[in-house]
Amino acid sequence: MTRYFPVSLDLEDRPCVVLGGGALAAEKAQGLLLAGARVSVVAAEPEAGLRQAAAAGRLTLVERDYRPGDLAGAWLAIDASGSDEINAASRREAAEARVLLNVVDRAQLCDWIAPAIVRRGPLQVAVSTSGESPFLASTLRRRLERDLGAEWEPFVRLVGEVRRRLRAEGVPLPEQEAVYRGLLRSDVRRLLRDGDAEAAAALAERIVSGPRPGRVWLVGAGPGEADLLTLAAREALATADVVLHDALVNPEVLALARPRARLVDVGKRAGGQRVPQERINALLLEAAAAGEEVVRLKGGDPFVFGRGGEELAALTDAGVEVRLVPGVSSATAAATLAGIPLTLRGVASSVAFATARGRGGVSPDLAALAAAADTLVVLMALEGLAETAAALAGVLGPARPAAVVSAAGTRRQRVVRGELGTIAAASAAAALEAPATLIAGEVCAVAARVGLSEATG
What number of other Cβ atoms are within 10 A of residue 368's Cβ?
Answer: 12
What contacts 144, CB < 8 A, 6 or more positions away?
Answer: 118, 125, 127
Between the alpha carbon of residue 434 and those of residues 86, 337, 390, 426, the distances in Å are: 65, 16, 20, 15
3-state secondary structure of 451: coil
Catalytic residue among 105, 147, 194, 268: 268
What number of other Cβ atoms are within 10 A of residue 355's Cβ?
Answer: 17
**Upstream peptide bond of 435 is cis (omega within 30 degrees of 0):** yes
Give the residue among 218, 380, 223 at the shortest CA–CA distance from 312: 218
Cβ burial of 185 (10 Å; 0-12, 13-18, 19+) is buried
**Residue pair 136/144 in contact by the 8 Å Cβ criterion:** no
Give the bridge partners for 361, in sequence order.
none
Catalytic residue among 246, 298, 301, 374: 246
What contacts 370, CB < 8 A, 6 or more positions away?
Answer: 352, 376, 392, 395, 396, 440
| Terminal CA-CA length for the chain | 38
Active site residue 268: yes
Cβ burial of 324 (10 Å; 0-12, 13-18, 19+) is middle
3-state secondary structure of 375: strand
Active site residue 10: no
CA separation for the pair 333, 362 (Å, rounded):
25
What number of other Cβ atoms are within 10 A of residue 67's Cβ?
Answer: 12
**Residue pair 229/221 in contact by the 8 Å Cβ criterion:** yes
CA separation for the pair 394, 248 (Å, rounded):
32
Long-range (24+ apart) CB contacts under 8 A made by 340-346 are 340/403, 340/439, 340/443, 340/444, 340/447, 340/452, 341/443, 341/446, 341/447, 342/375, 342/377, 342/439, 342/441, 342/443, 343/374, 343/375, 343/443, 344/443, 344/446
Radius of gyration of the chain (CA): 30
> DSSP code of 274?
-
At 62, give phi and psi (nearest 5°): -110, 110
CA separation for the pair 298, 315 (Å, rounded):
16
Annotated active-site positions, please?
246, 268
